[in-house]
Structure 1
Amino acid sequence: MYLHRLELRAIGPYPDLVSIDFAALAASGVFLLEGPTGSGKSTIIDAVVFALYGGLAGADASNDRLHSQHADPAVEPYVELVFETGAGVYRVRRTPQYDRPKQRGTGTVKQQASAQLFRLAGPADVAGEPMSSRIPEVGVEIARIVGLDKAQFLQTVVLPQGEFARFLRSPGEERRKLLQSLFGTQVYDRTADELAARRRAVQAEVDGADARVRDALNRFAQAAGVDEPDESGVQGTVAELRATADAAESARATAARAAAAAAEHEQSVTARAAALDRRAALLVRRALLDEGAPAVDAARTRLALGERAARVAAVADGLDAARARSDAATAAADALRSGHGVTVHGEALERQRATVAECRAAVRHLIAVEDGIPGRRRAIKDAAVRGEQLTARLAELDAALESRPAERARIVEDARAAAELAAGAEAARLEVDRVHRVRTDLVARAERERRVRGAEQAVTSARSAAHELVRAEQQLRERRIAGLAGELGSALAPGDPCPVCGAMEHPVVATPQDDHPTTESIDAAASLARRAEQDLGDAATVLAVERAELERLVQVLGDTDAATVDALAAAADARVAAVHDASVRVRRLEQQRAAHDEQTRTLERQRNEVDAERAVLAGSAAADTERLEQDVTAVRGAVERFAGHLDEAQGTLRAGVEQLDVLIARLDAVAQADDRAAVAAAAVRDRADEVERALAEQEFDDVSAARAGILDRADAERLRDDVARADRERAVVDAGLAEPAVIAAAEDDPAALDLAAARAARDETAAAADAATRVATSAGDRAAASEQCAADLALAISARDDTSARSRAVVRLADIAAGAPSVNPSGITLGTYVLMRRFEDVVAAANDRLRAMLAGRFTLETSDERESGSRARRTGLALAVHDQSTDTVRDPRSLSGGETFTVSLCLALGLADVVQAEAGGVSLGTLFVDEGFGTLDPETLDDVIGQLSRLTAGGRQVGIVSHVEELKQRIPERIAVRRTAMGGSRVTTTV
């Protein structure tokens, strides 16, 4: 990742716009970010981290310090960063959460944080393509684009204070997570997981295959009736069962054929006997039918005559009914004509009706006009009254509007006076806050006084304890020196030279005293003394810190006491209450002014509406009067028009139209009665023709003769029943005698049919066949079941062998990838093994720079063992420092400050080298270092700067954050941060 441009405003100590062109600064590979301590150098790094991840570089830093206290509160704070990765060029803009002044009134409102991400065509693109404006989405997209989360970014790209040496000192598991993200080796862990999943799957398949074999063998034993089944004896058992089943099937077939022959013989005898009995009964029924045949023929002839007579009588009844209807219709038409006084017939009647209907149609529409005339007259009168009312209302509204401006001016003046008083709200709030801080400092001063007294007592106790322990150590050492002769004498042996004088003879050998101190006891006493001295130093440090804080509080508070603070608090509270009351009055007066203005607008709207209504009303009154006169004239003409069609004159148009409706209804009724009479006469003629045709077709001379041949319903039904019954009986008898079995029975001798013997033979052979069938079925089912189970067993055994063969390779690969001790003695997983090789490259690259920076004194070494003191699983990423000057291996945490800085820097640069060269890895084109150069001696500093300068060949950028004066002479490209007289800071860029 490369940084191109950074812009920020109202961030940290920078109240104004700051723009930094990293692309120009890093043209030589190394640039310096320098300035006094606390001037805001780290804020530049914080701005970069905040733009990308929405947080600050420090682990314990809070975003609250992002908004500059030196900037105008109304100015929006923001950070905008243009950067480039392998995925393209992007611009991200973020604003932190901050409090801004309200647009109306006093006080502040919290402005929420925001984020925007754009994809750019190039670093100079000022517009770009928007990608997202939602903070969670922007975070996800940047992590995807950069390839690092915030913690990884702080260990590989931006190395802030307190975070620089974390990768050097971190345990192997944390290194594994970081390296896995940087090198993209998650595929190997996923491969191991996939192999483990496949191992579980194939192991389950093997277990399932074994279970299926056992299940199939048990089912075969149950089917074959074997107590202890064996896979090798399955086929022999199946062959034995099949032979037994075949023999039983042969015996069953023989018994079945014998039973079938006996049953067939019994059925034949039974059928011949039944046919012989049936033939005899049918012959008796046929004789009885022959005796009753003449009576049936007579009934059939009488029925045919009655049916022909009934057809003629039905047509004659229709003729009588038509004549009756025709006479009734003619009489009704004559009576209706006489009652309505209508004398015309035919076309004259139709012409009279059309004339009356035309007159009614011409005047009917004027009925509604006639009905509305009284209402319209009342409306004209009401409109005149309404006009007078509107004129009076208009005068009232004009008078009310004239008094409105003066009343509004009074409300506005009162509101202005209240607003001037409420304008001191912020000052009152600040005064309350100040009094609260003073009260807090008073409480803190009392607490500090108590803690100082406690710290003084702790120092006194620690000093006394340290003095006693040091004196005890001194006494032990003096006693040991005093008894050193005895210690030397106890170590002498005959023939050994004296360690003091070298003599071989020892006439009087000194002996140690019983309480002579040992080296171990002296070392223990020294250790206790050193610990006591350290405790004394810690207690003295705490006392100094507490005294410094107490002195600061005393200087801040001066002579201020609780009574003074209470008086200040009461005054501040009273001021806040007054401002609050004024604010409430301002809001109330504003509401009154708004209500007054709304009421004024309502009065103006009402005045305009009343004036408009009065004008419209005056204009329409004359037109309504003129139209009314015209309508009255038209109604009178209509009444005169229809008077000629009525016998009596009508007073209103509605009554005349109603009389015309009555006249038309009478004419329609007479015409309809005439039509019904004509239709009835035509029907009589048609029915008479039908009677003549029916007499001819049914062969009767007249209607009387036909009516004489009609049968009543009871006689007809009785005759039909007799004929139908005889026909059915004759059909049944003829069909029965025509059956083949009945015809064949004519030749049988009843004495030759022995039915009892045939039934006995059938029963005996059927019982034998059933017994043979049961035996054959049982044997066949057992043989078939055992054959099926044997086939299933063979398939299960084959599947088990195939599964076992396939699983062996998968299980071994999975165990190797997972670091199983049985096949992988090192216990290192596949993903960790790949990372170890990458980590070895990182360490090798770091050692190349270490040799140049520290003259080959230190080299880094990797190990596949656990970290010292760690109980975690083996990661294979342990790290140690080999000190070539003493030929010892040291823990990285034992290095001094300057050594830690140099080794950590080489490790970070080596990590960047390998990741940059690794295909598919994260591009680490920019590196920021924010600590440690002040711990280096001039010679080492020169070597370090030389190594950083060589990064230009690889295209990387290194930004050094430091206030070391010597670096200004060595690095020409720099960003200088200086405090201003107003309390903020400014940035000057030198390229």
Structure 2
Amino acid sequence: MRLHRLDITAFGPFGSTQSVDFGELSAAGLFLLHGPTGAGKTSVLDAVCYALYGSVPGARQSGQGMALRSDHAAPGTRTEVTLELTVAGRRLEISRQPPWERPKKRGTGTTLDKAQTWLRERDAASGTWKDLSRSHQEIGEEITQLLGMSREQFCQVVLLPQGDFARFLRADAEARGKLLGRLFDTRRFADVEKRLAERRRTAESRVRDGDAELLADAHRMQQAAGGTMELPGLTPGEPGLAEAVLGAAAVARSTAREQLTAARCRLAAAESAQTAADGALDGIRERNRLQRRFAEARERAARLEERSGAHREAEARMERARKAETVAPALELRDAAETEHRRAAAAETHARAALPASLADAGAAGLAAAARRAAEELGGLESARRAERRLTELRDERAGLERQERADEEVLQEAETWLAGWEQTRAVLQTGIASAQQAATRAGELAARRDPALRRLDAARTRDRLAGETDAAAEQVRTAREEALTARQLWLDLKEQRLNGIAAELAAGLVDGEPCAVCGATEHPVPARKVDGHVDRETEERALAESRRADERHADAERRLGTVREALAAASAEAGDTPTAELAHAVEDLERQYARERDAAAQLHSAQERLRSAEHEHGLRITAQREAAVRAGSRVGHRERMDRERAALESELTQARGEATSVAARAAQLEQGAERLTAAADAARAAEETAQRLKKADARLADAAFRAGFDTPGAAADALLDDAEHRELQRLLDAWQHEEAAVRAVLAEPETAAAAQQPPADLATAQRAADDAGRRVREAASARDAAARRCAELDRLSARATASVRRLGPLREEYDRVARMAGLAAGTSADNERRMRLESYVLAARLEQVAAAATVRLHRMSSGRYTLVHSDDRTGRGRSGLGLHVVDAWTGRERDTATLSGGETFFASLALALGLADVVTDEAGGVRLDTLFIDEGFGSLDDQTLDEVLDVLDSLRERDRSVGIVSHVADLRRRIHAQLEVVKGRSGSRLRQHGNG
């Protein structure tokens, strides 16, 4: 990797754009970066790191709370870093802009712009740059892959921090392990240790879980065996647990099978006894049943004997009912004839009550003749009915003619009255239409004048309002300008006071025993102290922030003043010089005239509609007058014809009505009389016929009762039964016969009679004997089933335990193997004599390489006196592997690097840093690092040692490397001609580059 050019804008202490030509500086091989304390030497290195990785070195960023943006930068200048370099044969350019809170382009306040990154590559053939990516993530991955180093490795290998390596020389094994682990990325070996430890814990957990499951099965077998099984006194994970559990299970299974054989024998004996007891119980139950059956049959026979008299009476009653059933049809016929005759006689009495007295005693034939005569007279009135209806129609037509005549007379009179004023009405309506049309024309002319007048009035009012706002805005600009100047002067004064007392501020962070951030010394005999009125960084930043806010307020006030002035000019141009009151008065006159003419013009449509309506009404009146005259002429002849026809009809109807009020009334009288006579004749004939049928039915009934053996028809009627009585009587007779047959059958059974001769059965005693036998069988069966279940459960659990033991075998072997490997990797195994962890072992090999590479430079810097060697001896009770010693050739003794003096520590740590850079570069895949930076520490060397150190650094040019030394030591400016100077000023730092001459 070779750096070519670096451009810095608004970064750290650099307020403006600064450029570094590394190509010119690297030509000398060795160049110096120097400047006053706090000028920004380290910020140049921070810019390089930020361009590559998007962040500054972690120690400086977290230790001092570094802000990337320069406090000296103008508000509108954005922070940007651009680095041009060659890596892996590719010429690249990286530009980065951090997030920026800038002033808004419109209005007040600020807005946040996101961070931006560009990556470009130079095409050697065409000599042009082409864009590769604008993605932060893609660019970060690309740079890390090309360099082969993380940011931490880069900061240790390229930006060599001498303070860190001085601490590395004095650190213990744990601190060295952390640093080397970050540089060589040995996390994979630590991950291997963790993975092995996790596998060991997992395998151990699986073995313990398996043993716990096996022991749980053993407890279940103990419960299944009834507590007779003895468990081994071992815990999960202890050896021998599986064999002990399987042995105890075998003993429990053998005992359970012996118990099962004994239970089966007891069950067989109990079943035989139960069979005998059940047989005896069945015999006793059968004899008891037959004896009870015989006793019940005797009781039923006695009850039948008691009811024999009632049974004979029921049989006699049933016999009389059967005989009476032959007389029932004659009885029903006679009842029907009697009912019919009574209805006919009642109807005849009712019909004769409505007849005249002269016909009350007439027979059926006389009543029929009178009905025929009334019907003949009714038929002769049909012609008179038609004449009466026609006379009614003629009267209605005459009344209608009179109504039409009166209506036509009203129409004629109204039409004549309306038509008399038609000409005057039409003239008035036409005059109204003409007036409305003229008003509409005048309203249009006024509207054209109204809109410009309104716009001019609005502009005049705006002109008057903006005139006052302009004076107020100008006053605000003057006030804001004075405040901005006052705030900026205050900030500059405070900044100058702080710079004058910056030594006291730096001294506040000094700690005894720790190197100074400026000179690197670990002793601070007379640190500067703060004086009264000391200005700290926070006070200066507050003053700067207030100055910027005052500038923003001044800019906002000027923008507002310009806006108001532009608006005032526009309003004045449109309104002119006419006073606002005069314009308002003119607009009011126009508004009144326009409203008056607009209201008059609005009447045009209604006037036209009234004229059209009046003309239509005129036509309707003329038509109605003409039609009424025609109808009056046609009504005269029609009226005369109706009068002649009415006189003839009235003469005919006077003769036909007789004494009735009308022909219809006379016809109704005749029709009603004929109907009554006909109904009376029919009722008389029906009464005579029903009387004959009743007489015949009485004779037939008397004959049927005599043949059935009854003295009178009434006796036969009394002997009849209805359906419910007949069914009930038959049921009683059938039940008697069924009961009598059943009793005789039971008493005739030979086994029942034989059982009745034996002693009474003792059923309770037999039942108790059978229950006892059954209980003994159930107890024996339960014991047999329990023994069988015990055997089955022990067999199942034993098979499960055997399978668990087989499954645990490979797991236990795996656990033993993994546990040995994890112990070796963690350094806790007895086989690991030096108790070195795997990561420490790898780091020890890397440290041995670093010590060998560093010794080459250290031997030359110390004139052959010192040699760095790696030691893997254990320190106290800790682990070994990361020891570092120095061999002094003058004394021949080997001692710890913590015993080196200040100067010796510097060139030893420098040699270590250079050696580490070589090893890390090889570890990263052989990427060439053509540019290195060494930060501070040269002030502790004497002249001879300084020459030797510079010779070693100058020898790096043999590998085509350039080395930049960051230091404020004055003697180095004389020895190193290629220089990059950082110049500090009140407006920010700037860079000045000196050539090789």
Q: Give the TM-score category using the shorter length.
A: 0.5 to 0.7
5 Å matches for 1:351-366? none
Structure 2 residue corresponding to 1:76, chosen from 75, 78, 85:
78
Structure 2 residue corresponding to 1:131, chosen from 132, 135, 152:
135
The answer to whether the 8 A contact 1:30-1:960 is kept is no
5 Å matches for 1:489-508? none
Would you say 1:95 and 2:98 are equivalent positions?
A: yes
- 1:907 deviates by 2.4
In the other structure, the counterpart of 2:474 is 416
Separation in 1 of the partners of 2:149 and 2:261?
A: 78
Tell me: CA distance 1:743–1:581, structure 2 relative to 1, closer, same or farther (3 Å).
Answer: same
Secondary structure at the aligned position of 2:262 is classed as helix
5 Å matches for 1:39-188? 40-51=40-51, 52-55=53-56, 58=60, 62=64, 67-68=69-70, 72-81=74-83, 91=94, 93-95=96-98, 115-118=115-118, 126-132=130-136, 152-160=153-161, 162-163=163-164, 165-188=166-189
Tell me: CA distance 1:728–1:154, structure 2 relative to 1, closer, same or farther (3 Å).
Answer: farther
In the other structure, the counterpart of 1:918 is 923
Would you say 1:832 and 2:840 are equivalent positions?
A: yes
In the other structure, the counterpart of 2:907 is 902
The answer to whether the 8 A contact 2:33-2:967 is kept is yes
Would you say 1:217 and 2:218 are equivalent positions?
A: yes
Q: If you compute each CA radius of gyration, which structure gives the higher value, 1 or 2?
A: 2
- 1:634 deviates by 11
The answer to whether the 8 A contact 1:34-1:976 is kept is yes
Measured against aligned partners, the alpha-carbon deviations of 1:364-410 in whole angstroms (never above 9, x if no partner) come to: xxxxxxxxxxxxx9xx99x9999999898986775464354255234
Tell me: CA distance 1:442–1:127, structure 2 relative to 1, closer, same or farther (3 Å).
Answer: closer
The answer to whether the 8 A contact 2:977-2:994 is kept is no
Separation in 2 of the partners of 1:168 and 1:77?
A: 38
Tell me: CA distance 1:863–1:440, structure 2 relative to 1, closer, same or farther (3 Å).
Answer: closer
In the other structure, the counterpart of 1:405 is 463
- 1:93 deviates by 0.8
In the other structure, the counterpart of 2:956 is 948
Measured against aligned partners, the alpha-carbon deviations of 1:521-568 in whole angstroms (never above 9, x if no partner) come to: xxxxxxxxxxxxxxxx999953x956xx87xx99x99xxxxxxxxxxx
Separation in 1 of the partners of 2:800 and 2:258?
A: 21
The one-letter code sitting in structure 2 at the alignment partner of 1:237 is T
- 1:886 deviates by 1.6
5 Å matches for 1:132-281? 132=136, 152-160=153-161, 162-163=163-164, 165-227=166-228, 229=230, 231-232=247-248, 233-255=251-273, 257-258=275-276
- 1:26 deviates by 9.4
- 1:10 deviates by 2.8
In the other structure, the counterpart of 1:358 is none
Identity across matched positions, percent? 28
Measured against aligned partners, the alpha-carbon deviations of 1:273-318 in whole angstroms (never above 9, x if no partner) come to: 9999999999x99x999999999xx9xx99xx9xxxxxxxxxxxxx
The one-letter code sitting in structure 2 at the alignment partner of 1:829 is R
In the other structure, the counterpart of 1:351 is none
The answer to whether the 8 A contact 1:265-1:758 is kept is no
Secondary structure at the aligned position of 1:886 is classed as coil
Would you say 1:859 and 2:867 are equivalent positions?
A: yes
The answer to whether the 8 A contact 1:79-1:95 is kept is no
In the other structure, the counterpart of 1:476 is none
Would you say 1:429 and 2:437 are equivalent positions?
A: no
In the other structure, the counterpart of 2:823 is 815
CA-atom RMSD in angstroms: 6.9
Separation in 2 of the partners of 1:933 and 1:781?
A: 95
The answer to whether the 8 A contact 2:450-2:591 is kept is no
Measured against aligned partners, the alpha-carbon deviations of 1:741-793 in whole angstroms (never above 9, x if no partner) come to: x9999977324569946775454234213213213312431452255235425
The answer to whether the 8 A contact 2:2-2:87 is kept is yes
In the other structure, the counterpart of 1:886 is 891
The one-letter code sitting in structure 2 at the alignment partner of 1:416 is A
- 1:940 deviates by 1.8
Separation in 2 of the partners of 1:637 and 1:244?
A: 137
Separation in 1 of the partners of 2:751 and 2:570?
A: 130
Secondary structure at the aligned position of 2:115 is classed as strand
- 1:118 deviates by 4.8
Tell me: CA distance 1:407–1:628, structure 2 relative to 1, closer, same or farther (3 Å).
Answer: same
5 Å matches for 1:789-804? 789=794, 791-793=796-798, 795-796=800-801, 799-800=804-805, 802=809, 803-804=811-812
The one-letter code sitting in structure 1 at the alignment partner of 2:96 is R
Measured against aligned partners, the alpha-carbon deviations of 1:471-497 in whole angstroms (never above 9, x if no partner) come to: xxxxxxxxxxxxxxxxxxxxxxxxxxx
Separation in 2 of the partners of 1:425 and 1:174?
A: 55
The answer to whether the 8 A contact 1:66-1:96 is kept is no
Secondary structure at the aligned position of 1:10 is classed as strand
Tell me: CA distance 1:638–1:93, structure 2 relative to 1, closer, same or farther (3 Å).
Answer: farther
The answer to whether the 8 A contact 1:12-1:40 is kept is yes
Secondary structure at the aligned position of 1:423 is classed as helix
In the other structure, the counterpart of 1:8 is 8
The answer to whether the 8 A contact 2:871-2:883 is kept is yes
The one-letter code sitting in structure 2 at the alignment partner of 1:80 is T
Unaligned runs of 5+ in 1: 306-340, 342-376, 452-536, 558-574, 648-717, 737-741
Separation in 1 of the partners of 2:731 and 2:559?
A: 114
Structure 2 residue corresponding to 1:768, chosen from 767, 773, 779:
773
The answer to whether the 8 A contact 2:293-2:752 is kept is no
The answer to whether the 8 A contact 2:982-2:989 is kept is no
The one-letter code sitting in structure 1 at the alignment partner of 2:31 is L
Measured against aligned partners, the alpha-carbon deviations of 1:574-614 in whole angstroms (never above 9, x if no partner) come to: x99x999999999999999999999999999xx99999x98
- 1:829 deviates by 1.9
- 1:167 deviates by 3.8
The answer to whether the 8 A contact 1:147-1:182 is kept is no
- 1:812 deviates by 1.9
Secondary structure at the aligned position of 2:131 is classed as coil
- 1:46 deviates by 1.9
Measured against aligned partners, the alpha-carbon deviations of 1:229-288 in whole angstroms (never above 9, x if no partner) come to: 163533432332232233234335545655666677788788989999999999x99x99
5 Å matches for 1:653-668? none
Which stretch has the larger CA shift, 223-232 or 261-270? 261-270
5 Å matches for 1:516-527? none
- 1:861 deviates by 2.3
> What number of residue pairs does the alignment pair up?
713
Separation in 2 of the partners of 1:435 and 1:29?
A: 43
Secondary structure at the aligned position of 2:135 is classed as strand
- 1:902 deviates by 3.2
Tell me: CA distance 1:220–1:72, structure 2 relative to 1, closer, same or farther (3 Å).
Answer: closer
TM-score by length of 1: 0.55
Tell me: CA distance 1:104–1:162, structure 2 relative to 1, closer, same or farther (3 Å).
Answer: farther
Separation in 1 of the partners of 2:619 and 2:286?
A: 109
The answer to whether the 8 A contact 1:931-1:961 is kept is yes
Which stretch has the larger CA shift, 898-907 or 387-396? 387-396
- 1:855 deviates by 4.9
Secondary structure at the aligned position of 1:861 is classed as strand
The answer to whether the 8 A contact 2:256-2:790 is kept is no
Tell me: CA distance 1:866–1:102, structure 2 relative to 1, closer, same or farther (3 Å).
Answer: farther
Secondary structure at the aligned position of 2:916 is classed as helix
- 1:821 deviates by 4.7
The answer to whether the 8 A contact 2:189-2:838 is kept is yes
Tell me: CA distance 1:750–1:62, structure 2 relative to 1, closer, same or farther (3 Å).
Answer: same
Tell me: CA distance 1:984–1:806, structure 2 relative to 1, closer, same or farther (3 Å).
Answer: closer
Separation in 1 of the partners of 2:863 and 2:172?
A: 27
Separation in 2 of the partners of 1:63 and 1:916?
A: 30
- 1:45 deviates by 0.4
The answer to whether the 8 A contact 1:412-1:593 is kept is yes
Tell me: CA distance 1:234–1:250, structure 2 relative to 1, closer, same or farther (3 Å).
Answer: same
TM-score by length of 2: 0.55
5 Å matches for 1:640-679? none
Separation in 2 of the partners of 1:217 and 1:277?
A: 68
- 1:9 deviates by 1.3
